[in-house]
Amino acid sequence: MELKQSVALVTGGNRGIGEAFVRAFLAAGAERVYVGARDPANAQHLVDEGGGRVVAIQLDVSKPEQIEAAAKQCQDVSIVVNNAGQFTMQTLLTAPDLSGAREEMEVNYFGPLAMSRAFAPILARHAESAIVNVLSAGGIVAVPGMGGYSPSKFAARAMSTCLRAELAPQNTSVTALIVGSVDTRMASHVQGAKETPDSVAQIGLKAIRRGSDEVDTDYMAVEVRAHLARDPKGQELQMRRSLSGGPVSTGR
C-alpha cells in the first residue's frame, strides 16, 4: 500500500506510540492525519507541528457516540491505527471488583472492534486501505500480573484474524502489531532495554506497505514468541512470577 497521500486516523495519538505514528505518517507523505484523543487539547503540539495536515479530534474509544462522530467527521480515512489502550495494573482476583477488567476489555477489545465496524465502509471507498491493531506480547502469552490487560489483548488478536477475513474482499489489510517493551508511560515499570516509540511506528508503517498480517515489533516480543514455541510450560511458569511483585525485565 502506498502511504503518500493517504489519510490516517490514530487513536490515542497524542503521546507514546500513537504520537510516533502521527509523525511517521507525516514524514511518509500522508495528506492528513487525524489524532484521536480524549482531550484534543493534549494533541495541540502535533497540530502545531503538522502544518495544516494534522487534525485533533475528541475520541474516547470506549464511548460509542464519539466513535460515531469521528466516522462522520473523518470520511476520507484510508488507514485506521487502533492504538489507544488501557492497563489498570490489577490482577484478576485481587482487584476490588470487575470494573478494571471491564475497562481494559472495553478499551482494548471493544474499542478497536467498534472503530473497525464504523470505518469499514469508509475504508471500502479506497482501492487499498488498512487497519493496524497495536497489541502486545501479553496477547500471545498470558501474563497473570497484567490482570485483564493480557486477556483483552488475546481477544483483540483473535478479532484481528476475524476482521482480516471479513475485510479481505474490499482489499483492507488488517495488521496485528505485537509489542513487547517500549519506552512509554505504560511500560515505565519494566526494566531493561526498550524500543523507542518511533521504531515501533516505523515497523508499523512497513507492515502497512507490505500488508503484513502480524509483526513482532521488538526484541522482547520476538523472545516471548520464541520461548513459547520452545517451552510452553516453562513460559507459563516464567510469566507466573509476575504475580510475586518482583521486577519485570526485557531480558536485555
- Catalytic residue list: 149, 153
Beta strands in the chain (DSSP E): 7-11, 32-37, 54-58, 79-82, 129-134, 172-178, 190-191, 214-216, 248-249
The rounded distance, in Å, linking the Cα atoms of 230 and 226 is 6
- Closest among 224, 240, 145, 118 to 179, alpha carbons compared: 224
For residue 41, the 8-state DSSP code is G
Task: Look at the block and give the residue holding cell 492497563.
Answer: 87
How many CB atoms within 10 Å of residue 74? 21
Cβ neighbors of 166 (< 8 A, separation 6 or more) are none
Phi, psi of 166 (to 5 degrees): -70, -30
The rounded distance, in Å, linking the Cα atoms of 90 and 140 is 19
Judge contact between 43 and 35, C-beta under 8 A: yes
